[in-house]
Amino acid sequence: MKKLFAIAVLAGMLSGLYGFSIGLGGRYEIGHYSYFYGPDSSFSYPAIVADVMVKPIDMLGFRFGLFTFNILPDEEKDYAPTTFMFGTGCDASVLVFIPMAGTISPYIPFHFIYNSAEYGSQFMIDGGVGVEAGFGPVAGYLEGGINFINWSPEGGDGDSDNWFYVQGGLRIPLNL
């Protein structure tokens, strides 16, 4: 709860100085590795996402996930239920915007995650390309990219996989 309060305070302070917006949309994961059926099996699934983005300068944006609801296929639900995540653990990305005249702004999103625990470690990186187009006070966005993940269990052989994603939605500016 303290983390969410700190993020809300920081977002409130930054929204007066920088561009601040909330994004609502969907994401489709394509060819995700099946943790339960082994390395020769993959699946695809949709997700509902919400995020907040701060742009300290026109060419740089920081996007933080607020909500993710993964809708897994029935065969995966036998082992892992449909999942949802709230707060800062959802996603965090850096977006590098390419300056262009007009209301269309192409960008390059990327982020990485490193988790280490008693049982091993996980490294994940993804990146892609996207475009944001303004329609009056609201902007639409569409992006696609690739995820790469590497699992290294303690005392065992590592495993890696990659899959693609497509994400799109609306971005609504907030003036707090």
pLDDT digits (tens, 9 = 90+) for 10-23: 555 544 445 789 99
The structural domain count of the chain equals 1
Which residue would you say has higher pLDDT here, 163 or 143? Answer: 143
> Using CA of residue 119, residue 116, residue 71, residue 34, what is the dihedral sign?
negative
The CATH number of whichever domain residue 138 belongs to comes to 2.40.160.20
In tens, the pLDDT along 103-134 reads 899 999 998 777 777 777 878 888 999 999 98
> 143 is in which domain, residue-wise?
2-173
| Averaged pLDDT score across all residues of the chain | 79
> What pLDDT, in 10s, does the model give residues 29-63?
887 766 555 555 677 889 899 999 998 888 999 98
pLDDT, tens only, 60-81: 999 888 888 888 776 666 655 5
Residue 115, strand partner residues = 122
**For the residues of 112-173, what is the DSSP string, one character each?**
EEEEEETTEEEEEEEEEEEEEEEETTEEEEEEEEEEEEEEEETTS--EEEEEEEEEEEEEEE
